[in-house]
């Protein structure tokens, strides 16, 4: 129901506000929800975990550690109907060269069923985020949860040098 989506996106935004501002990325929050139980399996925000980590990546790292499996084998241990909420759409390319979150989500296709996003990625670092198409081509709908765009963008870019 729309109300739930908004609540999860609002939670993701509150997580994003914990991210240390940096000029070279966005401050993003993510929540991974088990649709069968409506329980939150993991939360994450940009740079929460050591290394140049993304919000979505932090959710997956935490679950991999909890279950004692590598991230790419999470679909063997997680419930089979999950939804990922992320304030900014998953990245399809990272200037650092690290594995993009779209790839991380695609590895879990069939487990992560839907991706809910607050805004599409701005063009500051990557001019065209091709993630939405990749996900939808893999049968993972990307759904825009409306209403928080201005707040999400403000939080996401708080570390950027304002021209
Ligand atoms: N969805 C998403 N979640 C994040 O937690 C995050 N930081 C970004 N940001 C996307 C942006 O395109 C990359 O941050 C830059 O391309 C720099 O790449 P690194 O972050 O240094 O790997 N996007
Ligand atoms: Zn990412």
Q: Token digits for 46? A: 């940009």
61-99 tens-digit pLDDT:
999 999 999 999 999 999 999 999 999 999 999 999 999
pLDDT value, residue 161:
87
Q: Mutation test of ligand 1: which of 21, 24, 25 has the most ligand atoms closer than 8 Å to its C-beta?
A: 25
Ligand 1 atom 21: residue of nearest CA: 96
Q: Is the CB of 90 under 6 A from ligand 1?
A: yes
Give every CB contact of residue 125 below 8 A, 6+ residues apart in sequence: 24, 25, 95
ipTM of the complex: 0.99
Q: Is the CB of 26 under 6 A from ligand 1?
A: yes
């Amino acid at each position: 129901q729309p109300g739930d989506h908004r609540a999860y996106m609002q939670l993701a935004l509150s997580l994003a506000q914990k991210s240390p501002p940096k000029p070279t990325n966005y401050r993003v929050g993510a929540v991974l929800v088990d649709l069968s139980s409506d329980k939150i399996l993991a939360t994450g925000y940009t740079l929460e975990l050591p290394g140049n980590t993304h919000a979505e990546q932090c959710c997956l790292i935490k679950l991999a550690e909890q279950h004692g499996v590598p991230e790419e084998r999470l679909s063997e241990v997680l419930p089979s109907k999950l939804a990922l909420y992320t304030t900014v759409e998953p990245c399809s390319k990272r200037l650092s060269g690290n594995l993009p979150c779209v790839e991380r989500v695609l590895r879990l296709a069939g487990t992560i069923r839907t991706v809910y996003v607050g805004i599409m990625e701005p063009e500051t670092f990557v001019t065209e985020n091709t993630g939405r198409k990749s996900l939808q081509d893999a049968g993972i709908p990307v759904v825009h949860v409306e209403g928080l765009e201005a707040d999400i963008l403000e939080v996401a870019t708080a570390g950027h040098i304002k021209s």
